[in-house]
Amino acid sequence: MNPFIGVGIALIVGVLFGKLMNRFKIPAVAGYIIAGLVLGVSGFNLENSIIIEKLSFIGDFALGIIAFNIGSELEVSVIKKLGKPIFIIAFFEAILAFAAVTIITLILGEKIYTALILGAVASATAPAATVMVLKEMKAKGPLTTTLLGVVAVDDAICLMIYSIASSLARVFIANKPINAYSIIVPPLVEIFFSLLAGFVLGIILIYILNKFSRASEIQTLTLGTIIILTGLCLKFNLSSLLASMCLGITVANLSVHNNEIFSTVENFASPVITAFFVLAGARLDIKMIPKIGILGICYLIFRMLGKVSGASLGAAISKAPKTVQKYIGYGLFSQIGVAVGLAIIVSREFKGTGVDTKVLTILLATTIITEIVGPLSTKTAIIKAKEANI
């Protein structure tokens, strides 16, 4: 099929399925993935592997936009208002989800590099579904405020965990001698130069944007910068997610026009993000699901256990209110977004290792479940905490 037709079909069918999911109070993104499932190798095979490969640049561009928007949430003035408890809770829920999934994957007999990658991806939480529920319930109170803060910084922590875990995974795959240098230096070098690239291009972008005022010009220049940054990261084997996040952080904190910049990017992003998730769903081969059945179920269960126990522990350490300690973890089950993006990156960076297929299959299959369970769990937590106002 012609790639243009492929993108057009992906957009139209994706939006239709997204609208259908909304009727059942399920985030539209889950509908995009189901649309991909119908159109891809598990369905009509309209979006086949050749088309997906030709359109891979859409995924890289979409991930750059997603990471850039994550950076927009990390404005220093806002972070100071959130306070230390937010970071303590976010750190512990991400780390314990990573640890729980990594350990159970090893117990099930998988390779250590598979365990590290799955664990890293498990640390991500999707803010969109959580925010949607909180708005729908007109929720107000300490649990609501804390939950909004945690989901805002969680993905940034996840990206750091993934950068370290993926570097370690490469060491194990290459069967190189394990020492302090190979464990510590490569991840730090990748993180440093990725952040540096994002910061430098952020400064350049801010300087250029000071010369322009029209929204269309701001949008074009910003998107052009994201594309250049993504290309540089692919060329020099840096993390495009970390770099784009740092670009977003730089703009959020140093540009006086930050709100306008992020608004113009958000206005453009919708079709790109839709195509990305539809094409991600098209990669899922349902014949692979039985082969990862037990691992997939354990991933789902232990990720949730890690999120709940880690969030509760972080809340207890930071002396958060009792309602926060008791219910905060139940608002962190949704994983679509960065987690799926990381799965796509894994399928490219670890192609042919066995990790690629397992991670992609597990993430896409369990994402549909978490996008149903996640909002319901968040809603229950808000009601039990007596913060619902409907």
Phi, psi of 385 (to 5 degrees): -80, -5
> What is the per-residue pLDDT for 114?
95
Instruction: Please list, in sequence order, all residues whose beta carbon lies within 8 angstroms of the beta carbon of residue 347, skipping any fewer than 6 positions away.
Output: 283, 356, 357, 359, 360
- Of 27-31, 275-279, 312-316, least confident by mean pLDDT is 27-31
- Of 12-21, 77-86, 100-109, least confident by mean pLDDT is 77-86
Contact 307, 97 (CB under 8 A): yes
pLDDT in tens, 133-172: 888 788 889 999 899 889 878 888 999 999 899 988 988 8
Mean local confidence (pLDDT), 59-82? 84
Distance of CA 214 to the CA centre of its chain: 31
User: Tokens 């619902």 appear where?
Assistant: 388
Mean local confidence (pLDDT), 263-273? 91
Does residue 122 register a pLDDT over 90? yes
pLDDT-derived band of residue 356, with 50, 70 and 90 as boundaries? confident
- The C-alpha atoms of residue 50 and residue 53 are separated, in whole angstroms, by 5
Does residue 79 register a pLDDT over 80? no
Contact 68, 245 (CB under 8 A): yes
Parse the chain into domains and list their residue ranges: 3-384
Mean local confidence (pLDDT), 47-51? 82
Calculate the average pLDDT of the chain: 90
pLDDT in tens, 361-389: 998 888 878 888 888 899 899 999 999 88
- The C-alpha atoms of residue 279 and residue 360 are separated, in whole angstroms, by 12
CATH class of the region 3-384: mainly alpha
Structure tokens at 69: 């928007």
Q: What is the pTM of this model?
A: 0.86
